[in-house]
Amino acid sequence: MQDSEAAGVPSAAELRLQRNLKIIVAVLALLLAAGLATIIARILYVASGPSMQQAAPVAALRPELSMQLPAGAEVRSISLSGDRLAVHYTAGDEEGISVIDLRTGALAASVGLKR
């Protein structure tokens, strides 16, 4: 047996171990490739689908709206989210945020801010 080890010829146990290791490496490579393909397919599926946030239908929005602000008010910022418009304003020492429902044109909320 020492003659075969000296000559570099692997034993039957070593050959079986090498075969098993090759099988394990091949299976892990297949699992890695399948996982990567699954991730890429999922990204493409989610990217090609409709967006989660639905835009308000344009025909349902009122074409003209007006909003009452305190006298001398200055608009600081405006933010739109779905069918709600938030207007941040200052009027002298007074500061607030008014939220308008764009479908109805009604004031949905008014928040006074204190410093």
Tally of domains within the chain = 2
The answer on 64 and 36 residing in a single domain is no
Q: Is position 99 within any domain?
A: yes
Structure confidence at residue 72 (pLDDT): 85
Residue 9 sits in the same domain as residue 44: yes
Task: Please indicate, yes or no, whether residues 62 and 92 belong to a single structural domain of this protein.
Answer: yes
Asked whether residue 42 falls in the same domain as residue 75, the answer is no
Same domain for 65 and 101?
Answer: yes
In a shared domain, residues 63 and 88: yes
- In terms of residue numbers, what domain contains 81? 58-113
Measure CA 9 to chain center.
58
The overall pTM is greater than 0.75: no
Average pLDDT, the chain: 84
Same domain, 24 and 62: no
Query: pLDDT tens, 53-99?
Result: 666 555 555 567 777 787 888 999 999 888 888 999 998 888 899 89
Kindly state whether residue 95 falls inside one of the protein's structural domains: yes
Identity (one letter) of the amino acid at 10? P
In the chain, % helix, strand, coil (3-state, to 5) comes to 40, 25, 35
Query: Can you list the positions of beta strands (E) in the chain?
Result: 74-81, 84-91, 94-101, 107-113
Q: How far apart are CA 2 and CA 13, in angstroms?
A: 15
Indicate whether 66 belongs to any domain.
yes
Q: What is the pLDDT of residue 58?
A: 56
| Size of the chain, expressed as the number of residues it contains | 115
In a domain, 53, yes or no: no
Same domain membership, residue 74 and residue 44? no
Distance CA 101, CA 42 (A): 36
E strands in 27-71: none
